[in-house]
Structure 1
Amino acid sequence: MRADDLVIFDADAVRAKLDYPNCIRVVREAMAALSAGTTRQLLRTMIGMGPGRTFAQMPGALGDDDMFGAKMISVFADPASPGRRRHRGVVVMFEPEQGRPVCIADAEEITLIRTAAASAVATDAMARPDAKTLLILGTGGQARTHLLALPLVRAFERVLIWGRDTGKAEHLAREFNATLPVEVATEVEAAAREADVICTLTGAVQPVLLGDWVKPGTHINIVGSSFAGPVEVDTALVARSRYIADSRASALEAAAEFLIARDSGAIEDAHLAGEIGEVVLGRIPGRTSPDEVTAYKSLGHAVQDLAAAAFLYRSSLTR
C-alpha cells in the first residue's frame, strides 16, 4: 500500500485491526498529550435534527507535525432498542505534509473500542491495585467492549453485569463466561455495595447509581451520558468522589451530573480535580488514599478518535 492511498476501514476492519492493548496505549498517549497541550481540539458542535436525532462534529490535531482530522457522527435513537442511541459516522484523517486526506474509518466501532480503552486507562490510573470485583451497569455495545478492555488492567476475580432487561444481561454473561468469572446481578444496589470498580454504561436519564451504595475505595467510570441533561449517578456520588474528567473544558460544558451537582450548590468548579491526562503525566494523583472514592467522567474527545484512526492507518502502511 502506498502512503498516498486513501485507506478505508469499515466496521469489520476496525474490529479486526484496532486491538485493545494497542488502543489502550494510543489513547493513554493521546490523553496525556491533550493535557500537555501538544494536541489541539475544539469542543464538539451538535446540530439538532429533531427529537432523538443529532449530528455532531469533533475536529482536532494530534500535533503541529502530526495527523489531523475530524469525527463526524449522527446520534440517533435506535428504534430497535428503545432508550438506546446509535453513533454512526466516520473519522476522516489527513496527513501533515501536504494536507491530503488519507484515511476514513467507521466511527461507531472506533467509538466503542476507544471509549472502553479510555476507561481502562482511567481504571489503571485511579482504581486500587487490589480491585477484584467489577460491576458493569448496562448491556449494550459499550458493556461488551468494557468487558474486553478492563480485565487487561486489573485481575478481576468476579464480574457482575446488571441491566434493566435481565435477559440481555444473561445473554451478555453467557457470551463472556468462558473467559471471565461473570454473574448476572439482579439488584443494582446490592451489586454496587460489593464492587471495587463500577462502569455506568447506560442510556439512563435519571441516576441508576447512588453515592450511598458505593463502598470506600471504589472507582467509578461514568460513561453513558455525554451531554448536559441525562445523568447516571446522583449528586451525592459526585460530591463524595475525587472527580476527574477526560477534558476539563468538555466537563464544564457537558458533564451532566457535575453540572447538576454544581448548580445545586453541592460542589464548585474546583471539585473537578483535573484531567486523566494529568494523572498519566504524574502531575496529579489519581487517588489520594486507599479509601477514597474516585470517579472518571468520560465524555469522549476528538484526539482519542484521531489517535485510534491514526494507529489504524499507520499499521496499514507496514503490511
Structure 2
Amino acid sequence: MDPHEVLILSQQDVTALLPMQECIEVMAEALGALSRGEAHVPVRSMLAFPDGRGLLAVMPGLHPAAGAFGLKVVAVMQENEGTAFDSHQGAVLLFEARHGSLRAILDGSAVTAIRTAAVSAVATRVLARPDAGDLALLGSGVQASSHLEAMKLVRRLRRVRVWSRDVEHARRFATREGARHGLAIEPVPDAREAVAGADLVCTVTSSRTPVLAGAWLSPGVHVNAVGTALPTARELDTEAVRRARLFVDRRESAQHEAGEYLIPLAERAITPDHLRGELGDVLLGRVPGRTSAGEITVFKSLGLAIEDLAAAEHVNARARATGRGVRVELGGLRVTADARGPA
C-alpha cells in the first residue's frame, strides 16, 4: 500500500461492502476482543449544542491485534428526522498502528446504521428465546430498517408490528419494508399495542423519555434498547429495567451514559449488580445470558468505537481487494527541504 494513499469510501461503498450477515460476525468478534482486553475504548467525548438541537461526539479506539486504531466523529441532529438527512452525520477515520498513517475515511452514517443493528442481532442471538419471532419495532427511521433486517437474520419472524409517534411514518415504513423483506408488517397507533404479546422488542427512537413501560412486557421477552446514549435520557422506564436481566455493550460506558441504568439506580429501584455484564462476557461464556424461558432480558446498546473500527477494517480490506472507493494522496511522510522546493 502506498503510504500516502487514503481510501475514501462513500455511503454506497460501505453498504455494498458491509452486508448485515457479515457484520454480525464481525461485531461478535469485536465484542469478544473487547472483553478479553485486546481492544481499548475510552468513554466518548460529547459536545452539546447550547440550544439543544444536537451534539458532536468523538469516539476513539485502539485494536492492536488488528493493527488498527482510529475514531468516529459524528454529529447527532434529531431535527433531521423526517427529512432527507440521517440523524447521524459523520465519518470514521481508520489509521494503521505502525506509523500512524491514515488508511481510510468511511461514511459514518452507513457504518453506524449497519453495525448498531448487527450488535443488537448478536445480543438477540445469545439472549432471546430460540423461538422468539413476534417482533415489535418502536421507531420507524433508519435504525428500524436496519434492525428489521438484522432480526430477520437471527430469528424466524412470524409477526412484525411497528409504532412511531408519527402514524404516517409507521404506515410508510410498513409498506416499504414489508415489500423489501416479503413480510406483512402491521403499523399500529399505540406503543402498548405494538408490544402486547411480543417476545422481541427493539426500541429505536430519539425519545428522551420512556416509550416502553415495564408493565407492558410479556414474560420471556427480549428487548434491544438502542435509541439513546445520554445519562439523562431513556426509552425504557424504571419498571422495564427492574423486571429484566440487564446487559450492556460495555460496563464503563453504561456507568457514564446509559439513562436506562443510571436513572433507576439513582431512584434506588435497582442496585449496581443489577447490571449483569457485558455482551462480550456472555459471548465468552464468562457471564450467563438467559437462564429461563420466562425471564425478561434487556440489552442496552450505547455504540462503541471498537464496533466502528472493526466494521471499518472489514470494509477497508474488502474495498482494497475489489478496487472499490476513491484513492487520494493526503501526505503523511516527512516533508524535506527538497520536497518543499526552493525558498
TM-score by length of 2: 0.89
RMSD, aligned α-carbons: 1.7
Partners in 1 of 2:3 and 2:234 — Cα distance? 44
2:46 aligns with: 46
1:282 and 2:285 aligned: yes
Change (3 A) 1:94 1:138: same
Partners in 2 of 1:151 and 1:80 — Cα distance? 25
**Cα offset for 1:310?**
0.5
Determine what percentage of the aligned residue pairs are the same residue: 41
1:142 aligns with: 143
Partners in 2 of 1:94 and 1:219 — Cα distance? 37
Change (3 A) 1:208 1:70: same
Contact (CA 8 Å) 1:245, 1:275: kept in 2 or not?
A: yes
Most deviating of 306-315 and 93-102: 93-102
Highest CA radius of gyration, 1 or 2? 2
One-letter code of the match for 2:96? Answer: E
Contact (CA 8 Å) 2:86, 2:109: kept in 1 or not?
A: no
**Cα offset for 1:311?**
0.4
Change (3 A) 1:120 1:242: same
Change (3 A) 1:264 1:55: same
What secondary structure, in the 3-state scheme, does the structure 2 residue paired with 1:314 have? helix
**Cα offset for 1:238?**
0.6
**Cα offset for 1:10?**
1.2
One-letter code of the match for 2:187? Answer: V
**Cα offset for 1:50?**
2.1
**Cα offset for 1:318?**
1.9
Task: Deviation per CA, 1:239-260: give whole Å up to 9, x if none.
Answer: 1100000010000111002111
2:9 aligns with: 9
Partners in 2 of 1:162 and 1:65 — Cα distance? 40
Most deviating of 245-254 and 87-96: 87-96
1:316 and 2:330 aligned: no
Stretches of structure 1 that go unaligned for 5 or more consecutive residues are none
Task: Deviation per CA, 1:248-285: give whole Å up to 9, x if none.
Answer: 00001110021110000111111100000111111112
1:27 aligns with: 27
Partners in 2 of 1:20 and 1:7 — Cα distance? 22
Partners in 2 of 1:79 and 1:307 — Cα distance? 27
**Cα offset for 1:226?**
1.0
**Cα offset for 1:129?**
0.0
**Cα offset for 1:4?**
6.1
2:132 aligns with: 131
Partners in 2 of 1:229 and 1:236 — Cα distance? 17
Partners in 2 of 1:173 and 1:85 — Cα distance? 19
Task: Deviation per CA, 1:61-80: give whole Å up to 9, x if none.
Answer: 12255211011111223256
One-letter code of the match for 1:6? Answer: V
Partners in 1 of 2:151 and 2:78 — Cα distance? 27
Change (3 A) 1:80 1:132: closer
One-letter code of the match for 1:244? Answer: F
TM-score by length of 1: 0.95
Partners in 1 of 2:76 and 2:94 — Cα distance? 21
Runs of 4+ in 1 over 3 A off after TM superposition: 1-4, 79-82
Partners in 2 of 1:262 and 1:245 — Cα distance? 15
What secondary structure, in the 3-state scheme, does the structure 2 residue paired with 1:199 have? strand
Stretches of structure 2 that go unaligned for 5 or more consecutive residues are 323-343
1:300 aligns with: 303
Partners in 1 of 2:234 and 2:188 — Cα distance? 21
Change (3 A) 1:150 1:6: same
Give the number of aligned pairs: 318
Task: Deviation per CA, 1:116-161: give whole Å up to 9, x if none.
Answer: 0011010011000001201000011110111111100000111111
One-letter code of the match for 2:150? Answer: A
Change (3 A) 1:293 1:270: same
Task: Deviation per CA, 1:201-258: give whole Å up to 9, x if none.
Answer: 1111221111111011000000011111121111011111000000100001110021
Task: Deviation per CA, 1:19-71: give whole Å up to 9, x if none.
Answer: 10111111111111111111111100012232223221111012255211011
One-letter code of the match for 1:251? Answer: A
2:157 aligns with: 156
Contact (CA 8 Å) 1:2, 1:317: kept in 2 or not?
A: no
For residues 241-252 of structure 1, the aligned pairs below 5 Å read 241-252=244-255
1:211 aligns with: 214
1:196 aligns with: 199
